[in-house]
A = this chain, B = another copy of it.
Amino acid sequence: MQEAGVNLVSLGIFAWSRLQPTADRFDFGWLDRVLDLLHEGGIGVDLATATASPPPWLARAHTEMLPVLADGVQLWPGARQHYCPSSIAYREAAAALVERIAERYGKHPALVMWHVGNEFGCHVPACYCDRSAAAFREWLKNRYQDLDALNAAWGTDFWSQRYSDWEEILPPRRTPTWPNPSQQLDFHRFCSDELLACYEQEHAILKRHTPEVPVTTNFMSFFKPLDYWKWAQREDVVSNDSYPDPGDPASPMKAAMAGDLMRSLKRGQPWLLMEQTPSRVNWREINLAKAPGQYRLWSYQALARGAGGVLCFQWRQSRAGAEKFHSAMVPHGPRETSPTWQEVVRLGTELKELSALQGTPVEAEVAILHAWDSWWALELPSKPSLAVRQVEQLESYYRPLWEANVAVDFAPPARDLSKYKLVLAPSLYLVSDEAVKNLVAYVEAGGVLVLSFFSGIVDPSDHIRLGGYPAPFRELLGLRVEDWLPLAAGQEIAVAAGGGAARADLWSELLSTQAATVLATFQAAPLYGKPAATKHPFGRGAAYYLATRLDPAAMAGFLRGVWTEAGVTPTLQTPGGVEAVRRGGKLFLLNHRPEAVDVVMAPGGDPVRLEPHGVALA
């Protein structure tokens, strides 16, 4: 580890059955030795609460703790994470274990951070068992107080769903056709909260023992089941697991986007890249290896986008078990000749030189809005078009900014946005009254907002905001949507904008502009000549609206026009595939291409040469 420059180790994440071999026996001796040894070597420990996977004896004693899917299928022990988040037996056993661990290691000098659970919800984001049903009802009572309020919020007059007693309410188990959408949406909220309650139970115990030791749990980038805005508030440090597919050309963009989200979760505070693979994962159908340099490149990318540290899963590649083909810092074979080990050592050495970056911020002039409840609601079935997917919509707005090296934050829709010159809202389908007020006020005060189609459609109960779409933003945008005309899979239509021609797909709609100016028009029946993009000056700012999905080049052109007008300055103009990010006074140049590239930093200046998948700091 010293050879590889390791200074922090996550420990004991799946150790429960070794720490507590039976219900009434604990064995901490081996863990004592590991912590002591690491401490002697000058290495800190991110110590896990070890509750991510309950031991076989617990599952056998309490089969009611096993999770159940929507179709009644029970999940059994034999892998990991086989617990119902609402299970009393699981929670009690987990609390008892964490109590012991906190007590024993809270004062250990190696302890740097607590690591609660592991990738909460990754395999079992929801449980539909009777115990979960009861917990869901408690959660609903808390939210709605009385049954009439719930009936109203869920629109139970439709399809004869009116409840006459709390006990009639169930999770959205397998039904003959789509379950009530508001019920589904609330169940999404409940599931995120119920796992958060598991986290918080452990968090409370740890804070009682060691109020000063930071607590984290590892996130999974844009992970739909958990509302990370809410979760991040309960963490001291945000940490993330990042496994971009080396075979996917969009991976550098996606990883950048995940990094920006992580940084934004706690408003710019540094985050940890908790897990990444040195080379290959094992869980895809085909697991491509990282190209030479790519491990280093993506680690630098995380630093550039605000990470305060970089870890790997895993230290030593295991001989047995379900992840033995997942790459590790120490391979199965001799490490001296292993290209992976060489990359690991190189990065470890270089990281020491970068300590000046610690704690420095990343500044952005643009924010993209993202909300988990809107994501959940948008992707429920029974929509005009299920081809509208939240993350794809985010990516279609993020990509042109990333390609142009425009720094971006993510923000929840009700957060104060006054520091941003430009705010983008791609398919922000569900909006609260508070978010509406916030966005309107932002523009009024001089902000520039771009809203896409199918935004502002429903309230937090997934009820239509009546009066003409998008009702809460009609005045802001100076228009009304009369009708939606989703496009068929593969269908493309022409769009004309300021003399230029573009293609559009996915969605079209019939707009009536009132006060808005038309920037682009559809060029195909039945919308020939009708607006496809508009602008509306409002207060001291302006609100743009985009009624379709433009082809990538046209989208880049559209957004470039908007950000230029809004006064946003890109970090640097670089060749395609080269990412430039500024942090802590350093300019990171990241070459995602498999060949060498020259980057000109200033007109007339000498070019900087980047090796294939190379990195430069200027």
Q: Is A160 an interface residue (CB 8 A)?
A: yes
Separation of A177 and B288 alpha carbons in the complex (Å): 21
Contact with B along A250-281 (1 / 0, CB 8 A): 00000000000000000000000000000110
Separation of A181 and B319 alpha carbons in the complex (Å): 12
In the complex the two chains form, is B180's CB within 8 Å of A325's CB?
no
Q: Is A569 an interface residue (CB 8 A)?
A: no
The number of residues on chain A lying at the interface, defined by a beta carbon within 8 Å of a beta carbon of chain B, is 118
In the complex the two chains form, is B172's CB within 8 Å of A78's CB?
yes
Cross-chain pairs A/B with CB under 8 angstroms, 8 sampled? A14-B160, A21-B164, A60-B167, A177-B322, A180-B321, A287-B486, A288-B486, A322-B382
Interface of A is mostly: loop
Question: Which of chain B's residues have a CB closer than 8 A to the CB of A81?
Answer: 176-177
In the complex the two chains form, is A318's CB within 8 Å of B288's CB?
no
Q: Is A161 an interface residue (CB 8 A)?
A: yes
Give A245 Cβ to nearest chain B Cβ, in Å. 10
Q: Is A415 an interface residue (CB 8 A)?
A: no
Question: Which of chain B's residues have a CB closer than 8 A to the CB of A183?
Answer: 78
Separation of A468 and B335 alpha carbons in the complex (Å): 9
Q: Is A163 an interface residue (CB 8 A)?
A: yes
Give A29 Cβ to nearest chain B Cβ, in Å. 15
Contact with B along A457-472 (1 / 0, CB 8 A): 0000111101111000
Give A559 Cβ to nearest chain B Cβ, in Å. 26
In the complex the two chains form, is A79's CB within 8 Å of B333's CB?
no
In the complex the two chains form, is A60's CB within 8 Å of B168's CB?
yes
Separation of A525 and B323 alpha carbons in the complex (Å): 27
Residues of A128-178 at the interface with B, using a CB-CB cut-off of 8 Å, are 154-165, 167-170, 172-178
Q: Is A233 an interface residue (CB 8 A)?
A: no
Q: Is A386 an interface residue (CB 8 A)?
A: yes
Contact with B along A477-488 (1 / 0, CB 8 A): 000111111111
In the complex the two chains form, is A176's CB within 8 Å of B57's CB?
no
Contact with B along A317-351 (1 / 0, CB 8 A): 11111111100000111100111100000000000
Give A236 Cβ to nearest chain B Cβ, in Å. 25
User: Interface-forming stretch among A32-40, A69-77, A296-304, A493-501?
Assistant: A69-77
Q: With A54-B160, A482-B337 known to touch, is A175 a contact of B384 (CB < 8 Å)?
A: no
In the complex the two chains form, is A79's CB within 8 Å of B159's CB?
yes
Question: Which of chain B's residues have a CB closer than 8 A to the CB of A247?
Answer: 488
In the complex the two chains form, is A175's CB within 8 Å of B76's CB?
yes
Q: Is A391 an interface residue (CB 8 A)?
A: no
In the complex the two chains form, is A159's CB within 8 Å of B14's CB?
yes
Contact with B along A436-455 (1 / 0, CB 8 A): 00000000000000000000
Question: Which of chain B's residues have a CB closer than 8 A to the CB of A412?
Answer: none
Separation of A398 and B321 alpha carbons in the complex (Å): 32
Q: Which of B56, B74, B484 contacts A168 (CB 8 A)?
A: B56
Can you name the residue of chain B whose Cβ is closest to the Cβ of A168?
Answer: B56
Give A520 Cβ to nearest chain B Cβ, in Å. 21
